[in-house]
């Protein structure tokens, strides 16, 4: 029996900004434990979708549900407490705090005890490989380390689903495999992930399923192979001339 339990469902999400429709009728499901990649050219609406799911924007139409609970239009902090955590494309560490304190902010959403939160923070830092930097100031970290910090911080909120926004963006080539491995480990541990990625090699390596966006709409939804061969996807990325 292969009953895939849908944990996150996005139904007909539409978001307009003045004359531009950034998201149009976006619909897909994410099963528990799945890792879904979101791809699409610049301006396709990927980040807008994340903002709609995480509560920073309220969609003009459509619904977002987590395990049956309606998330549409809830404020971002409520969305997080219900179980969705996210990272940001433009990294946002709390500069004035240490690495451990950054993660503690996430942990404190689930526990009231500061000491307990500190222990949890250290545990998460260990899992993402940043433990030795625990007492360093967040602003001293390299880009790759900041990505890990952002991940640990989000994970400390004990989410059901994690939205990763361009986790390899801006990271040097040599550090990418380690980051990808980390994402794979977390996924293997049972985490449900939604990943925006530009790097096709990364996406095809980790994603079980890919949802492709173009001009605000879903143009493909399937296994990495199927999506890569879809004519619509080829056209969107490379232009009409490449569609054989």
**Residues contributing to the site for another protein (CB under 8 A):** 54-56, 75-77, 80-81, 85-86, 88, 92-97, 101, 104-106, 108-109, 112-114, 117, 153-154, 156-157
Question: Bridge partners of 212?
Answer: 39, 220
Q: Are 34 and 208 in contact (CB under 8 A)?
A: yes
Whichever of 76 and 169 has its CB closer to another protein, that residue is 76
Whichever of 15 and 209 has its CB closer to another protein, that residue is 15
Quote the least distance from Cβ 26 to another protein, whole Å: 20
Whichever of 109 and 208 has its CB closer to another protein, that residue is 109
Query: What is the DSSP annotation of 66-119?
Result: ETTEE-TT--HHHHHHHTEEE--SS----TTSBHHHHHHHHHTTT-S-HHHHHH
Tokens 């049972």 belong to which residue? 190
Reading the block at residue 211, the tokens are 């949802």
Quote the least distance from Cβ 15 to another protein, whole Å: 14
Whichever of 54 and 230 has its CB closer to another protein, that residue is 54
Quote the least distance from Cβ 18 to another protein, whole Å: 10
Q: Are 230 and 208 in contact (CB under 8 A)?
A: no
Distances 143 to 149, 150, 162, 172, 175 between C-alpha atoms, Å: 10, 10, 20, 9, 10
Q: CA-CA distance, 55 to 151, in Å (whole number)?
A: 19
Reading the block at residue 186, the tokens are 């977390």
Distances 62 to 27, 28, 139, 170 between C-alpha atoms, Å: 9, 12, 39, 33
Whichever of 141 and 156 has its CB closer to another protein, that residue is 156
Whichever of 122 and 209 has its CB closer to another protein, that residue is 122
Quote the least distance from Cβ 136 to another protein, whole Å: 16
Quote the least distance from Cβ 122 to another protein, whole Å: 15
Whichever of 20 and 178 has its CB closer to another protein, that residue is 20
Name all contacts of 218-227 with Cβ < 8 Å and 24+ positions apart: 218/25, 218/26, 218/27, 218/28, 221/28, 224/37, 227/39
Quote the least distance from Cβ 76 to another protein, whole Å: 4
DSSP 8-state secondary structure symbol assigned to residue 159: -
Quote the least distance from Cβ 71 to another protein, whole Å: 13
């Amino acid at each position: 029996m292969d009953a895939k339990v849908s944990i996150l469902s996005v139904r007909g999400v539409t978001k307009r900004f003045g004359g531009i429709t950034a998201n149009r009728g976006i619909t897909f499901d994410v099963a528990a434990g799945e890792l879904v990649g979101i791809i699409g050219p610049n301006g396709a609406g990927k980040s807008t979708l994340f903002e709609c799911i995480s509560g920073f924007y309220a969609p003009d139409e459509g619904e977002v549900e987590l395990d049956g609970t309606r998330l549409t239009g809830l404020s971002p902090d409520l969305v997080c407490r219900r179980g969705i955590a996210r990272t940001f494309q433009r990294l946002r560490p709390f500069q004035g705090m240490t690495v451990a304190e950054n993660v503690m902010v996430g942990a404190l959403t689930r526990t009231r005890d500061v000491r307990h939160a500190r222990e949890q923070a250290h545990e998460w830092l260990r899992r993402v490989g940043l433990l030795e930097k625990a007492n360093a100031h967040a602003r001293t970290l390299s880009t790759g380390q900041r990505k890990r910090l952002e991940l640990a911080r989000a994970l400390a909120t004990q989410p059901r689903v994690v939205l990763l926004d361009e986790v390899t963006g801006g990271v040097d080539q040599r550090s990418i495999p380690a980051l990808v491995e980390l994402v794979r480990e977390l996924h293997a541990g049972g985490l449900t992930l939604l990943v925006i990625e530009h790097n096709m090699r990364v996406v095809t390596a980790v994603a079980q399923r890919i949802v492709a966006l173009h001009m605000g709409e879903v143009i493909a939804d399937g296994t990495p192979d199927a999506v890569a061969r879809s004519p619509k996807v080829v056209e969107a990325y490379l232009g009409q001339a490449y569609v054989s």
